[in-house]
A and B are shown apart, each in its own frame.
Chain A
């Protein structure tokens, strides 16, 4: 479980996050939603430790990230898997080398053991046999799946996904969403997804946090989201004509 307690962040005179407190549950797909510039990415960066200067506390299973020493931070980082918006695969490495990279850096496994684990992860994301392809030879959806395989290769406790569906066609987006949800449930990990995509919200959102103008505006489950009377949230969720029609019908 991840707890965020009174987290605030300023860039110059601009308050990007104001006193945000929320909780992300284990074994669930936790979604952070909000408009562009609302502070979602900053919150994710604070959670994964890329943004170190902030006020407040972030607790991973009760442990304050800020108070960890170098050794503890190193161990903690190996418990994190992250799926970046563009995949962030290493261009000069093949699919196999990309997935194997965390294993070569942090384990003492033999080559054949590592390869076995890589093949297992590739199979898990339905990319078996693509070991020797380079990232430039992959489609957007395949890149995301390789990035997911790399994120889970170390069997993380926490999985962070930044805009996992951006730039993907609806069918591939559903495939990625399903994969994230399956992995979350299968390995009982805490998954946090930062998204704009309302289809993802409806499909995989177990626990939703709505960030608006740097503040936590609403928090709840997807069933409550549709019924919510919160004006800003409704405006965001039902922004498209299709969703407006669906709301009227419901």
Chain B
């Protein structure tokens, strides 16, 4: 319990240093562009790949579970749409990104810590926390929602392809996708994603920034970053769903 309080304390002290006006806007812009590439552009492939296949599987499983002739086929499209928008794209993709982006952030900052690169920044008079972490948080806040929207779109294409394999017609599927569409669900998904982006980038940075020792410590911080980010994402998923949807 005491360890948990220590983590909380150190996390908030770090965040206090992170949230400050950048010392040099040119340097900040450069770092931000680098992070947008590392966190965002480099994650597009995996997000699209996973979304397409999961979308297909969601549709096939829904179709196989709704074989009652009284239930219209378009319900398959509707159920796939809502599963993807409400849960799969924002939460599952954020969990996947916690693994990909979170471990990369923690190991990058952790390696910089153990190889004294962070000390070198501090000695020069650079606010190392802000210089290294703020661009990562901003890049995540910007790119996670983009990735989630892409995931929704590709997931639905995957669902359509999956639907074709279990005799769901294109017309029926599209009718289901458009049937009683509530646009607020997309806003809800984006709100959740913004929270998750902050959780993944800040918690992963925290574990990397406080790595001590050598390579083993970097590996440990990377694992802790993924585990704790995932736990906090799931807890916040519950809290945000309760607050926003009920």
Contact of A50 with B115 at beta-carbon distance under 8 Å, contacts A105-B23, A105-B24, A105-B27 already known: no
- The distance from the CB of B53 to the nearest CB of chain A, in whole angstroms, is 33
Chain B min CB distance to A25 (Å): 21
User: Known: A86-B116, A88-B115. Contact between A80 and B27, CB under 8 A?
Assistant: no
B120, A88: Cβ atoms closer than 8 Å: yes
Q: Do B124 and A77 touch (CB < 8 A)?
A: yes
Query: How big is chain A's contact interface, by range?
Result: 20 to 34
Choose among A80, A86, A92 the residue that contacts B123 (Cβ–Cβ < 8 A): A80
With A77-B123, A92-B34 known as contacts, the answer to whether A86 contacts B27 (CB < 8 A) is no
B27 touches A82 (CB 8 A): no
CB-CB nearest in chain A for B131: A105
Q: Determine which residue in A50, A84, A91, A105 has the highest number of CB atoms from chain B within 10 A of its CB, and name it.
A: A105
Q: Which residues of the partner chain A approach B115 to less than 8 Å between Cβ atoms?
A: 86, 88
Which chain B positions have C-beta within 8 A of A50?
119, 122-123
B124: A residues at CB distance < 8 A: 77-78, 80, 101-102, 105-106
B-contacting residues, A80-121, CB 8 Å: 80, 82, 84-86, 88-92, 101-102, 104-106
> What size tier do the contact residues of chain B reach?
10 to 19
Task: Give the one of B23, B27, B119, B123 with max A CB within 10 A.
Answer: B123
CB <8 Å contact, A82 and B34: no
With contacts A88-B116, A90-B117 taken as known, whether A82 is within 8 angstroms of B24 at the C-beta atoms is no
Check A82–B23 contact: CB distance below 8 A: no
Binary contact readout A24-53 vs B (1 if CB under 8 angstroms, 0 otherwise): 000000000000000000000000111000
On A, residues with C-beta under 8 Å from B are 48-50, 73-74, 77-78, 80, 82, 84-86, 88-92, 101-102, 104-106
Binding site for A on B (CB under 8 A): 23-24, 26-27, 34, 111-112, 115-117, 119-120, 122-126
Q: Can you report 6 residue pairs joining A to B where beta carbons are below 8 Å apart?
A: A48-B123, A73-B125, A82-B123, A84-B116, A102-B124, A104-B26
